[in-house]
């Protein structure tokens, strides 16, 4: 698609393509970067861009959200499902400040997004003009990079840099703030040039072989090696390289919730989830392994528990593309700085084939214990209220593990991550680092646009759903096929669980009332039903999945169920509680 085919005839004839407005340059840049979908919300300072968009409507699909936070989360869902860069448009002032939560979420979870915000006229900057806000400074700590454009001549370069920075190295959100005059300004058109190099920016280093050799030596001598993998494997598109590495070495591998789905759930070396509500074996055996190989993960406190009692017996190999992560929380004996797409094959070449049968058996033993104590009852209750776990089990059976599961934050998130079955990468989309309630609904919308051929199921709590439920309007208007499962326990369940366990059951502001969710969906012309009885659960899920178009399923689950196992805050991973 050539840009000249898109531009209005008037421009073509009158100027024979020699001049473009700043807004046209922005849209040209997006097309050159391969953008097809934009999530946004118009407003005064970004009107020129929306005016230009009118002529690009056949080529750029703009999804009108209901709140700018929804736009960023949708762009995140889009990026996470597709591996592409998510795009957001928002206006100045409140439009821009509404992006902050999503930017912070994308920053901590390394999601590539480019936000374009309108800004007041350059001559009004600093005058406290209508809808003026200092978006550059407000968003500095929550963006990988940001830049204010006041002159249209800067637009092509600024956008080229934005795309390059957002998706290279450790990805992250970038915000470009463009004053209204720059959007309107007419300038000479010059062919768009993609950015491939910025002298002050090293997205990934030239990989050094020495630490990889040292790591291979350690791994070859190890009796109880253990791999922890995070989203770095997915972001580096290194799933195959990762699989080859663990399959050659036979090392048991556990995931952070953002690394989930990088290898299939039923892979024999996939030993489960790390962290506070992770699996029993991976947590306990972290403190028994002799070599810990961390790949594309950052030792978040929810993964490590108490640091001074974390894997002290082990030699630690840390592979990451971001040098600031190495030694940040856990001191590495060997740090391998680089893109794991490059470093993993080098490491695989140097390691000896192995199979750690006895060591793997230890994981299996722990798994057996966890199944008996926790999992069996959670997934197969015979009586009482519906459990979150059995909803996920039923869903697994119906989708076969092929759906994208988007979760919000809280108990349902932990249960979904623990029990959802995944066959392919980029299937688990959740707010990990920031823990943003309200993430699910807009992110699920974005995920569906990012992977239209896949089934997208959003699993959300009654609390989180009410934080961004206005995006039902987006679903209605864009006719996007998203299945929504509300696991309603009539509580802000995770906080309630903590209050029960650590605050003597003093339930403070966790009792949350909800509207009739099914009626609410209906108001947005979305089909749905309420499930209260276990006997209807499977059929209702089936109806939802078979429904043409989006569907909302509200499921009443146990009011005071807790998520176990649990590593209580301030405890070591080996002190994980099964009940």
- Active-site amino acid positions: 68, 130-131, 180, 494
Nearer to other proteins, 327 or 532 (CB): 327
Q: Which residues contact 388 (CB under 8 A, 6 or more apart)?
A: 378, 411, 412, 415, 416, 487, 489, 557, 558, 561
Peptide bond into 565 cis (omega under 30): yes
Nearer to other proteins, 10 or 197 (CB): 197
Q: Footprint of other proteins on residues 204-233 (CB under 8 A)?
A: 205-208, 211
Other CB atoms within a 10 A radius of the CB of residue 18 amount to 12
Q: Which stretch binds other proteins (CB under 8 A): 140-148, 219-227, 276-284, 362-370?
A: 140-148
Exactly one of 44, 184, 201, 545 binds other proteins (CB under 8 A); that residue is 201
Q: Does 458 bind other proteins (CB under 8 A)?
A: no
Q: Which stretch binds other proteins (CB under 8 A): 189-197, 274-282, 290-298, 428-436?
A: 189-197
Q: How far apart are CA 134 and CA 126, in angstroms?
A: 8
- Closest separation in Å from C-beta 393 to other proteins: 42
Exactly one of 182, 321, 334, 445 binds other proteins (CB under 8 A); that residue is 334
Contact by Cβ (8 Å): 85, 61? no
Q: Which stretch binds other proteins (CB under 8 A): 99-107, 156-164, 220-228, 272-280?
A: 156-164
Q: Does 145 bind other proteins (CB under 8 A)?
A: yes
Nearer to other proteins, 55 or 109 (CB): 109
Q: Which stretch binds other proteins (CB under 8 A): 104-112, 152-160, 268-276, 452-460?
A: 152-160
Other CB atoms within a 10 A radius of the CB of residue 114 amount to 27
| Residue located via tokens 């009443």 | 556
Q: Does 189 bind other proteins (CB under 8 A)?
A: no
| Residue located via tokens 């762009």 | 75
Exactly one of 326, 395, 460, 472 binds other proteins (CB under 8 A); that residue is 326
Nearer to other proteins, 47 or 136 (CB): 136
Pairing relationship of beta strands 145-149 and 113-119 according to DSSP bridges: unpaired
- Closest separation in Å from C-beta 346 to other proteins: 13
H/E stretch holding 291 = strand 291-295
Q: Footprint of other proteins on residues 295-324 (CB under 8 A)?
A: 318, 322-324
Q: What one-character-per-residue DSSP string does 242-283 give?
A: HHHHHHHHT--EEE-TTTTTSS-TT-TTEEEE-STTS-HHHH
Sheet holding 291-295, edge to edge: 270-273, 253-255, 225-229, 291-295, 315-320, 334-337
- Closest separation in Å from C-beta 208 to other proteins: 4
Q: How many binding residues for other proteins (CB under 8 A)?
A: 42
Nearer to other proteins, 60 or 307 (CB): 307
* Closest alpha carbon to 121 in 159, 151, 154, 157: 151
Q: How far apart are CA 304 and CA 301, in angstroms?
A: 5
* Closest alpha carbon to 52 in 77, 18, 15, 89: 89
Q: Does 467 bind other proteins (CB under 8 A)?
A: no
Pairing relationship of beta strands 19-21 and 186-188 according to DSSP bridges: antiparallel
Exposure pattern of 309-319 as b/e (b: 16+ CB <10 Å)? Answer: ebbeebbbbbb
Q: Does 267 bind other proteins (CB under 8 A)?
A: no
Q: Does 126 bind other proteins (CB under 8 A)?
A: no
Q: Does 156 bind other proteins (CB under 8 A)?
A: no
Q: Does 483 bind other proteins (CB under 8 A)?
A: no
**Strand stretches in 343-497, DSSP E:** 404-407, 428-429, 456-461, 483-488
Exactly one of 151, 157, 247, 290 binds other proteins (CB under 8 A); that residue is 157
Read off the DSSP letter of residue 34: T
Contact flags string 159-178 toward other proteins, x per CB under 8 A: -xx---x-------------
Helix (H, G, I), strand (E, B) or coil at 496: helix
- Closest separation in Å from C-beta 159 to other proteins: 11
Give the residues lining the site for other proteins (CB under 8 A).
136-137, 140-141, 144-148, 154, 157-158, 160-161, 165, 195-202, 205-208, 211, 318, 322-324, 326-328, 331-335, 337-338
């Amino acid at each position: 698609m050539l840009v000249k085919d898109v531009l209005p005839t008037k421009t073509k004839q009158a100027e024979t393509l020699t001049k473009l407005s700043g807004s046209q340059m922005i849209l040209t840049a997006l097309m050159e970067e391969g953008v097809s979908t934009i999530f946004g919300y118009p407003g005064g300072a970004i009107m020129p861009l929306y005016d230009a968009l009118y002529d690009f409507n056949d080529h750029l699909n703009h999804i009108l959200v209901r709140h700018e936070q929804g736009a960023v989360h949708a762009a995140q869902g889009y990026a996470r499902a597709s591996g592409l860069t998510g795009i957001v448009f928002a206006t100045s002032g409140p439009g821009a400040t509404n992006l902050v939560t999503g930017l912070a979420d994308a920053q901590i979870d390394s999601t590539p997004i480019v936000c374009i915000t309108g800004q007041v006229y350059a001559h009004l900057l600093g005058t406290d003009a209508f809808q003026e806000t200092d978006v550059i400074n407000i968003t500095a700590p929550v963006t990988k990079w940001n830049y204010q454009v006041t002159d249209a001549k800067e637009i092509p370069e600024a956008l080229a840099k934005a795309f390059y920075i957002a998706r290279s190295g450790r990805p992250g959100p970038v915000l470009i703030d463009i004053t209204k005059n720059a959007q309107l300004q007419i300038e000479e058109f010059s062919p768009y040039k993609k950015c491939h190099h910025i002298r002050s920016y090293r997205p990934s280093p030239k990989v050094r072989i020495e630490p990889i050799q040292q790591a291979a030596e350690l791994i070859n001598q190890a009796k109880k090696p253990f791999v922890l993998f995070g989203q770095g494997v997915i972001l580096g598109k290194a799933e195959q390289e990762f699989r080859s590495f663990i399959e050659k070495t036979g090392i048991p591998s556990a995931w952070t919730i953002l690394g989930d789905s990088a290898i299939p759930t039923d892979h024999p070396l996939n030993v489960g989830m790390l962290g506070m509500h992770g699996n029993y074996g991976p947590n306990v055996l972290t403190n028994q392994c002799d070599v810990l190989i961390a790949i594309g993960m950052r030792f978040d406190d929810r993964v490590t528990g108490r640091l001074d009692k974390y894997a002290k017996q082990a030699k630690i190999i840390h592979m990451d593309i971001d040098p600031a992560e190495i030694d940040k929380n856990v001191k590495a004996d060997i740090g391998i700085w680089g893109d794991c797409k490059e470093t993993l094959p080098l490491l695989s070449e140097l390691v000896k084939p192995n199979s750690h049968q006895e060591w793997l058996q230890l994981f299996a033993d722990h798994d057996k214990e966890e199944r008996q104590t926790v999992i069996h009852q959670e997934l197969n209750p015979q009586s009482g209220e519906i459990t979150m776990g059995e909803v996920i089990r039923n869903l697994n059976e119906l989708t076969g593990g092929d759906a994208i599961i988007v979760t919000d934050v809280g108990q349902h998130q932990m249960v979904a991550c623990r029990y959802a079955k995944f066959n392919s990468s980029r299937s688990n989309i959740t707010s990990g680092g920031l823990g943003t309630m309200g993430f699910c609904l807009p992110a699920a919308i974005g995920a569906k646009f990012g992977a239209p051929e896949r089934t997208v199921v959003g699993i959300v709590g009654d609390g989180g759903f009410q934080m961004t439920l206005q995006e039902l309007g987006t679903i209605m208007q864009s006719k996007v096929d998203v299945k929504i499962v509300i696991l309603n326990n009539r509580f802000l369940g995770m906080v309630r669980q903590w209050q029960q366990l650590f605050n003597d059951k003093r339930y403070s502001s966790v009792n949350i009332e909800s509207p009739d969710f099914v009626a609410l969906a209906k108001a947005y012309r979305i089909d749905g039903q309420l499930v209260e009885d276990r006997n209807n659960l499977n059929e209702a899920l089936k109806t939802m999945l078979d429904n043409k178009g989006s569907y909302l399923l509200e499921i009443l689950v146990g009011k005071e169920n807790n998520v176990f196992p649990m590593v209580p805050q301030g405890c070591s991973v080996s002190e994980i509680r099964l009940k």
